Amino acid sequence: MSGLFITFEGPEGSGKTTQVELVGQALAAREPVMVREPGGNELGERIREIVLYGALELDAEAEMYLFMAARRQLIAEVIAPALAAGQIVVADRYHDSTLAYQGGARGVPTTWPSTFPRPDVTFLLSVPVESGLERLAKAGKKPDRVERESIDFHNRVAAAYERLAQDEPQRFARLDATGSRDHVHQQVMNRLEPLLSRL
Ligand code: TYD
């Protein structure tokens, strides 16, 4: 038996986390396993402190391995067992974040490890970089190390996501996230419907 693996990706301020919450509510009766990256387990939360809020100067490749180490632990502890048990797993960021941020924006050579399960569907929430960053600023949340990067950096992230989506059109569902929250959610549910009916 294998479950359904759904991931959400996007640049800063794309409303990704809101959409994750909405899909979690919509699928509540099926008791989906919700995870966020980096984090979601003890190692992940500790690594999150280091990579996002620590004062350490991190080498770009070392940063990539930290994100990936957190991910591998989450796969081993949570994602793989849940999928093997036929459950739905919804992830707020996954390996495409590393490909876009560390690979695309920081220029670190990246690959997809064969031990990292591929999502069945990846929603890419697309917003113009400036409006995403504005949305973030308005939310008043203290920006983390990655969010504080330059506009050029965030443009490279967005461009890398677009390339990833073009390279794997079957896996990616690219959604215009400038629309209303409910409209975006409806598009998410439309895309999930055939997958859910097969479960
Ligand atoms: P997150 O907490 O998901 O913040 P957001 O509210 O933007 O979704 O992610 C924190 C930051 O970590 C975000 O700026 C993207 C970055 N990140 C990477 O650079 N590489 C990765 O592999 C992951 C998972 C996140």
pTM assigned to the model: 0.96
Distance 38 CA to ligand 1 centre (A): 7
pLDDT tens, 5-62? 999 999 999 999 999 999 999 999 999 999 999 888 899 999 999 999 988 999 999 9
Dihedral pair phi/psi, residue 134, rounded to 5°: -65, -45
Kindly report the protein residue whose alpha carbon is nearest to atom 20 of ligand 1.
98
Query: 49: closest CA among 135, 141, 144?
Result: 144
Domain ranges of the chain: 4-197
Distance 9 CA to ligand 1 centre (A): 9
Q: Domain 4-197's class?
A: alpha beta
**Mutate which of 68, 93, 95, 102 for ligand 1 pocket (most atoms within 8 A of beta carbon):** 93
Mean pLDDT of the chain: 95
pLDDT reading at 1 higher than 70:
no
| Angstrom distance (rounded) from CA 56 to CA 175 | 36
Dihedral pair phi/psi, residue 119, rounded to 5°: -65, 150
Whether 67 is in the pocket of ligand 1, judged by its Cβ within 6 Å, is: yes
Question: Structure tokens of 110?
Answer: 């990246």
Neighbour-count burial of 34, counting CB atoms closer than 10 A to its CB (0-12 exposed, 13-18 middle, 19+ buried): middle
Distance 100 CA to ligand 1 centre (A): 10
